[in-house]
Structure 1
């Protein structure tokens, strides 16, 4: 009888200790049950078990077990600062690629909505070219006007074949020369703009023809440059 009493007392103490341990764990976790059981093998080859992530194995893989010992998931090692930087850079590149792809899809769809057929695109091209042609005609008219203004100045300068020109005449000729040179430069730029506009509309039309034929928006790669029609809007 005395032995049975001692066994009962020992079991009671064991149960009380387990209860106290469980209570301390719950208290440490704010009264919430532990997520599971973490287990790993440290650098010394010791198997460590805990109810929370194990600091000794922060650079190692940890296994999170359910209460019945079954595997819930594998917790990967905590990355180093360099590894975190690389992960963030990789995620940033992936996000930028997704954004670029979404932008390409949007541009192609907008392009097809703007130009449902080739005639609509042709009219837009002509409108863009007409703007440049008007500027070229204005430059031509300005050059003709400057040439007309220069004629009497040149005739007057002929009276001074071997003498310095009067300051006022010299100033007028120099101003005419500068204005003429500036207008010729502007006209050369306008003619280059005609070439640029045509080239960009050609690239845009080639893309549109492929889209009209059934190519999926966003699958044709980037445009060689900003479409002239988009730049004009």
Structure 2
């Protein structure tokens, strides 16, 4: 055997021995420990399969706790956990949005007088639309009187009345009915407006009160501090 071949063989043999030595050594990571379902305390150099359904602790070589590993979840458990996370996220978003609306509401209505002014304006708008519809009904009824006067000539036999006249009377009746339905809708709209402002006012009263409470507390404290020296004199 040549000297060069002998050197190559020696290097390969040394490398193989080093690889085998490293393979037999435990991982350089931490030590895993847990108590299994039977109450046994287990220790290993890697996550313990018998404790996948429970918490494990990873210890450093010095014995201090590096981290805690939660139990591995089944697919159904992971799905349930994700649903719970979404619910919690939605609830947090709802609370944030609710607080934002409350800030906007109190900025828009700093006191009851401001709220009352806007309520009155909203109701007035409904009343103006209602008045327009009532005026239209009065006009249609006046128009109907003229048609009725024409129909007097055909009182004995209404079927002899001209088709155009009968069509105008039918259209007039339909228009009056439509305006009356619109008026009924405006009555409901007015109730909705009042209900909305009543709901807002109930919430605003609480918000106004909560804002006044912190301001009153220091004042009350200051009054107590002034009263104490007075009592000592």
* Shared fold (TM-score, shorter chain, > 0.5): yes
Match of 2:149 among 140, 155, 176: 155
Q: TM-score, normalised by structure 1?
A: 0.72
Higher RCO structure, 1 or 2 (CA under 8 Å, sep 6+): 1
- Structure 2 counterparts to residues 43-122 of structure 1, below 5 A: 47=42, 49-51=44-46, 53-55=47-49, 57-122=51-116
**1:150 Cα offset (Å):** 1.1
Return 5+ residue gaps in structure 2 as ranges: 1-17, 213-233
Residue by residue over 1:33-78, the C-alpha shift from the partner in whole angstroms, topping out at 9 and shown as x without a partner, is: 53x2224567897946134x34554334323111123333332211
Match of 2:197 among 196, 201, 211: 201
**1:158 Cα offset (Å):** 2.5
Residue by residue over 1:172-211, the C-alpha shift from the partner in whole angstroms, topping out at 9 and shown as x without a partner, is: 1111111110100001111221122122212212222222
Contact map agreement 2:151 2:158 (CA 8 A) in 1: no
Contact map agreement 1:129 1:197 (CA 8 A) in 2: yes
Matched, 1:187 2:183: yes
Match of 1:170 among 166, 171, 177: 166
Match of 1:20? 22
- CA distance 1:175–1:90, shift in 2 (3 Å): same
Return 5+ residue gaps in structure 1 as ranges: 1-15, 26-32, 217-233
| Partner Cα separation in structure 1 for residue 62 and residue 89 of structure 2 | 40
**1:159 Cα offset (Å):** 2.1
Task: Give RMSD over aligned pairs.
Answer: 2.9
| Partner Cα separation in structure 2 for residue 46 and residue 38 of structure 1 | 11
**1:19 Cα offset (Å):** 5.6
Contact map agreement 1:58 1:78 (CA 8 A) in 2: yes
Larger radius of gyration: 2
Matched, 1:144 2:146: no
In terms of fraction of residues, the more helix-rich structure is 2
Contact map agreement 1:38 1:50 (CA 8 A) in 2: yes
Matched, 1:128 2:130: no
